[in-house]
Amino acid sequence: MLDRPYTLLSCALSIAGYLGSVAPRRLALSNDADLDRVDAVRASCDAILVGAGTVRKDNPRLLVRSKARRDERTARGLAPSPIRVTVTERVELDARADFFTTGDTETLVYVASQQVVDAGSRLGPVATVVDGGNPIEMRTISEDLAARGVQRLMVEGGGKVHTQFLTDNLADELQLVVAPFFVGDSRAPRFVSDGLFPWNPDRRATLAEVCQIGDVVLLRYALSPRFWND
C-alpha cells in the first residue's frame, strides 16, 4: 500500500486569486456545470478534507449530490459519499453543523494530541476524533488516511490547508477554477499564504489540461508523476 493517498487539490478563485470574500456568507465562484463536475470528482474519491475555517464559514455538507453517482458508489460497496475530514487546533466547531450531521457517511476530525479528550466530549457523538500529533502535520493526516483505506483524497480548501499540502509536497494534482470577476478586498482569503512551494520560477508545474466550462475555466496541473498513472 502507498504511504499516502493520491491527493487532488480543488478550488475556485476570483480572477485576482481570492478564494472568497469578507462577507459572512460563502461566495459563489463556480457555476452549475462546474459544480456538477466537482460532484463527479467527489464521487471518485474516498475522502474529502477541508480546514476548520471552511467548516465554520461555509458549513459544507461535502455529500455527493447526484443520486446516480451515489447509487454507483453503493453498488461498488462504498458509502454514498466519501469520508468527510477536517483538522482543527482550537476545536471550535459546532457539533450541530451540517458538516457533521447530514448524510450517511463517516466524519473524521484530526486534533492535536492534547485536545483529544476535550474534542471527544464535544464532537464524539457526531464524528471520529483522531489524534493528529503535536503539531498536526498534513503528512500525518495523509498517512493515517491511507492506513484507513483512503486511496484517493480530495482537498477542498481553504487556503491554510491548501498551503500546507502544497508546501509539504503532498499534492499530486491541482484543479483550479477561475471565475470571471474580481474581489477587491485584500482582507479576503487567498488561495495560498506564505511558504516555500516546490513549484517556483525554477521548477514550473506541468499544465495538463485547460477546459472552458461556461463562464469559468478549469486549469488542471500535474504536480507529481502519480498524476499520469491516476
Min dist. Cβ of residue 7 to ligand NAP (A): 15
Task: Give the number of residues in contact with ligand NAP, rule: CB under 6 A.
Answer: 28
Which of the ranges 69-77, 81-89, 101-109, 215-223 carries the binding residues for ligand NAP, by CB under 6 A? 81-89
Interaction of residue 166 with ligand NAP, rule CB under 6 A: no
> Applying CB under 6 A, which of residues 71, 92, 104, 118 lies at the interface with ligand NAP?
92
Question: Is 26 a residue that touches ligand NAP (CB under 6 A)?
Answer: yes
Cβ atoms of 48 and 156 within 8 Å: the answer is yes
CB of 203 to ligand NAP, least distance (A): 24
* Footprint on residues 93-132 left by ligand NAP (CB under 6 A): none
Q: Which three cell numbers stand for residue 202?
A: 525554477
Instruction: Copy the grid coordinates of residue 198.
Output: 516546490
Asked if residue 31 lies in contact with residue 214, where contact means CB atoms within 8 angstroms, the answer is yes
> Which contacts of 35-40 are long-range, i.e. CB under 8 A and separated by 24 or more positions?
35/65, 36/65, 36/66, 37/213, 37/218, 38/10, 39/64, 39/65, 39/66, 39/69, 40/66, 40/69
Q: Which of 4, 5, 8, 29 forms a contact with ligand NAP (CB under 6 A)? A: 29
Q: Is 5 in the site for ligand NAP (CB under 6 A)?
A: no
Residue closer to ligand NAP, measured from CB, 72 or 89: 89
154 makes contact with ligand NAP (CB under 6 A): no
Q: How far is the CB of 71 from ligand NAP (least distance, A)?
A: 27
- Within residues 42-71, the interface with ligand NAP by CB under 6 A covers 50-54, 57-58
- The Cα–Cα gap between 78 and 172 comes to 23
Shortest reach from residue 21's CB to ligand NAP, in Å: 8
Is-contact 151 46, C-beta < 8 A? yes
CB of 224 to ligand NAP, least distance (A): 21
Q: Which residues of the chain form contacts with ligand NAP (CB under 6 A)? A: 11-12, 19-20, 26, 29, 50-54, 57-58, 87-90, 92, 135-136, 156-161, 164, 189
